[in-house]
Chain A
């Protein structure tokens, strides 16, 4: 069964450094998403991406975040200058792009980001 994959599984960085989290969505999917879960808190939506542009973003997704689909398979989340509060599990998801309400999102295993 096709799966969403993410690399690395764990990333440790210093505050102020840039990090790039990588995801390979399911190959025929059209929508891509990033969510995050701070330890002990809810899974929160960050951004969705369709047709090479952001389709939705939350208030969390500020100017320090960016997303990109650099080639036909990868989908990346960049955090330009990491803060301590960016420490979280970051989940990538993808969906087939069925008409709105029937679309189902499939999640990757997550990247645990630790900012020191």
Chain B
């Protein structure tokens, strides 16, 4: 069975600081990887996704993530965060078995202080 670990549960940063949120997955086959964001009071929105090809994926709002197969990781990064990035961030994985169910990590709450 596949699983996802997000080790940072709560991250507090000042504006303009750099961000890296960890995501590790457990799955033996080929995976699709996703980062979703949930702003306060809003629904889950897709930030970026990886299916194949270039392991460095660029998403919306200046976010990027790097798939490192050897480390089973898909960390999310942003060079300079803004107060508006305050949200909860979820990493998710979909395996290659033909199943479409997403397996989510527990989420990381990011608080950006002005």
User: Which A positions have Cβ atoms within 8 angstroms of B?
Assistant: 3-4, 31, 33, 35, 41-45, 48, 55-56, 58, 91, 95, 100-110
| Binary A-proximity of B79-108 (CB < 8 A = 1, otherwise 0) | 000000000001010101011111111110
B43 engages A110 (CB within 8 Å): yes
B interface residues, tally (CB under 8 Å): 26
* Contact assessment for B106 and A56 in the assembled complex, using a CB-CB cutoff below 8 Å: no
Main secondary structure of the interface of B (DSSP, over half): loop
Asked if B46 is at the interface of the complex by the 8 Å CB criterion, the answer is yes
Q: Is the CB of B44 within 8 A of A103?
A: no
> What is the 8 Å Cβ interface bit string for chain B, positions 51-64, against chain A (1 contact, 0 not)?
11000000000000
> In the complex, given contacts A41-B106, A42-B105, what are 18 additional A-B residue pairs having Cβ atoms less than 8 angstroms apart?
A3-B43, A33-B100, A42-B104, A43-B90, A43-B104, A44-B104, A56-B101, A58-B101, A91-B43, A95-B100, A101-B30, A101-B96, A102-B51, A104-B46, A107-B36, A107-B44, A107-B45, A110-B43
